[in-house]
Structure 1
């Protein structure tokens, strides 16, 4: 694992009773997830956002949940990284492989999901390009490719794989992407019903849920589903405009609405399965 002495300031607030390997994975993925209350809190949401790159692979769900459970707060200064194998300077960010010896590297803590997935830091990103990047990284970083390599390379490929999968899943859907962009700017949306929400909006949600519960045919359920798609499409456009202008509070309010409608859309899918 990359020596922590090479990093700026790292504060780890979780217990050390876990196995060394699981703790290492947790540390890497928790930091990279960055809940980025990073030192740099000045994020610009524009279509000309900073370009960024990635890592990859899906570990089993329990491992990912364990990894995500470790919350780490840290700040990184300008740090010069070196290959753990040949000690050559690592200039690119993030670095999946050393350009000198081609050994897989540990995840780069300075990289956001946008940088990892080689995307512009914008809400309206190209999901087809995102998928192509994901598949490319998967082919090169999948742990199966390192089964005959050293134990350290196998572990680093696992870390990179888990991180790339999480980055891909987060950026793929508008809701999780928008929430992540808010997190990068130190904002979040609380779980549960928002007590401060517009009563008319809450009434609308209640009526939609009631109509879905009472739906007895695929046609009725599909009609509600189509309505949700339209609402989500409209919200996506509004959120993109708000983030582009830097109106984060407006974007936060719209994303809160999107959470509710996305939840109903999932219920519609479940309802349609039941009626098949």
Structure 2
């Protein structure tokens, strides 16, 4: 009986361990894709600081990391825990990052250099962002940082509030939609989708886009335009799922190709809105 109970406990522990590994694999891969999202320069004394990126590529049982660096610029230099940031007004240490306000004198602070939009908006670095959490964070920050709150403050505080408020707006709008979010994630990895890359697209895909655009041009009723808009939304949702899947695998080139397709469909979606406004 004792041997049976020991065996049962061993199997249960093994099953629990496997479950935990599967549950955390998603976040582990995203965390491994880049160290630049939350890791900042270790030196604050150089005129030009460098941000390190780490790509994670998984192929079956084999995986590897590739690192590179490139210069970044911003308003405030980020330092390590041994040399923390201090308030520009009272020179007291700032106890958290990002620090929008000094906890001692309550004045607004300038933005930190190299701070990713994900960290500014307190979002997990993932393609499937929690939109409700993102919106709550945006409203919270804008209520406290909006320039209207600093009309009676010093010129320096007014300037910092304008900069911080604009930065929060940009971070929010970038992370809000899948396309801009995905493009930003590629940018963090040093990858961009250049304009005028039609020659790189599949001919069958380009033919499909041409047919959709022609059908939209020929649409004579709101119902016809709405049908095209519904189909386009479905395709965008499908691409969102595919991009999330390949990013989990660290397949950045595939993600780049899918995001390029998403740009085309997003453009059609905007054309549908323009077409519908013409019927009003």
Q: Does the TM-score normalized on the shorter chain lie above 0.5?
A: yes
Aligned residues of 1:9 and 1:74 also touching (Cα < 8 A): no
* Unaligned runs of at least 5 residues, structure 1: 1-5, 12-36, 46-71
1:193 deviates by 3.8
CA 144–74 in structure 1, closer or farther in 2 if over 3 Å, else same? closer
Higher Cα Rg: structure 1 or 2? 2
CA RMSD of superposed structures (Å): 2.1
CA distance in 1, matches of 2:131, 2:56: 20
User: Please, what TM-score do these two structures have when normalized by structure 1?
Assistant: 0.75
* Unaligned runs of at least 5 residues, structure 2: 1-42, 58-70
Partner of residue 154, structure 1: 158
Q: Does 1:245 pair with 2:257? A: no
Pairs within 5 Å for 1:194-205:
194-205=198-209
CA distance in 1, matches of 2:78, 2:136: 32
Partner of residue 41, structure 1: 53
Pairs within 5 Å for 1:99-138:
99-138=103-142
Partner of residue 21, structure 1: none
Residue-by-residue CA offset, 1:138-160 (whole Å, 9 max, x unaligned) = 10111111111111111110110
Q: Secondary structure at the match of 1:39?
A: strand
Q: Does 1:92 pair with 2:96? A: yes
Selected match of 1:145 from 132, 143, 149: 149
1:242 deviates by 1.1
Aligned residues of 2:225 and 2:276 also touching (Cα < 8 A): yes
CA 191–112 in structure 1, closer or farther in 2 if over 3 Å, else same? same
Q: Secondary structure at the match of 1:41?
A: strand
Q: Does 1:268 pair with 2:272? A: yes
Q: Which moved more, 1:221-230 or 1:74-83?
A: 74-83
